[in-house]
Structure 1
Amino acid sequence: MLKKTVSVGFVALITSALMWGATTAAHAQTDLGDYSDEVSVTVVPTVIAPGEDSVITFSEDYFEPGETVDVTVLGESADDAGLASLVHASSTMSTSKTAESDGGMVATFTAPNDGRGVYNVVFEGSRDYTAVITVVPTDVDVAADVVVGDTSLAGTGGGLSPVVVWVGLGALAAGVVAIVAGLLRRRSSN
């Protein structure tokens, strides 16, 4: 009988220890691939005036080396927007660029002279990315120091649920009670 009680108590103790200590790392898959990959994209600046440039830089290993990447520009007056060596484009401009031998790439978006509003520069390859660039008319003050480049993993709320905590404490308490009861029963039978 004591063996059974000790076994149940031991199982309860191991179960509660696993609930408390055997947490696993979160695994997130994003358009950038595995979030632990050290790749990044910078868009500088993200707010420009008509006729100005915004440089979109992809780090090494973002794309496959020498990969052909499809590029599309969407926005008001996109037919006058420029991207890299293109001078004119259609309303929804589509072209392609080739990644460098290290997998990186640099593209320069030139806002149309009469442009205004939000432009999406969409890159589609082994990894996808959409650069969002805002073109503000010259009569509006453009904040040149606005930069969006944070590629860190978003908070996931990764804490222990109160339910898990209470179930673990309950299992631990039940295990302790079972062991103590078994020991007391053994002493009283002797």
Structure 2
Amino acid sequence: MLKKLAAISLTAGALVLAAPAAASAAPGDSYAEPPSVLVDTPVVDVCGESTVVFEPGYFQPGENVSVGVSGAKAADASYSGNVASAEGAMELSFSPPADGEGNYSIAFSGTRSYTAVITVAHAHDAAAGCDHDHDPAAAPAGAEAPQTGELALAATGGAVPPVVIGGGLVALAAGGLLVATGVARRRRS
């Protein structure tokens, strides 16, 4: 009788711990799509500007998103707009340096991460310079944008309630205790 009770307890504990995996959605279920990102001009002139637009809900409301730029002479590039709106949307403007060329990777790191690639074509005289080269409002690429507000941990999406985990552990412990009791009784007789 004790063996059956122990086996049932261990099985129940294993099922409780496995329930979140069994409850996951099957392929093809209609869940809401995550918010999307749009790079309005993926290929720009040296003195051009590209904007990366994140739909509402992509970031946490008011989140200060870290931005990193890499590419040729990336330290001379500039960007502005790295704080999400009250709806979690964000629009970042990127301006390459006057003598920039090739691909620039713009890495966003916040609640979600994203990397946009913008290509700079040489259709402008680099010696003439650009109007945006000395914009005091724009942060130079490679420099960390100023932090505002409180820093918080990223939302990782863990969805298993602690009560379920605790219940599974209690059932597992109870099963183990019953097995140990059965073994001790058997040794005595």
What is the TM-score of this pair, normalised by structure 2?
0.49
What is the TM-score of this pair, normalised by structure 1?
0.48
Greater share of residues in strand:
1
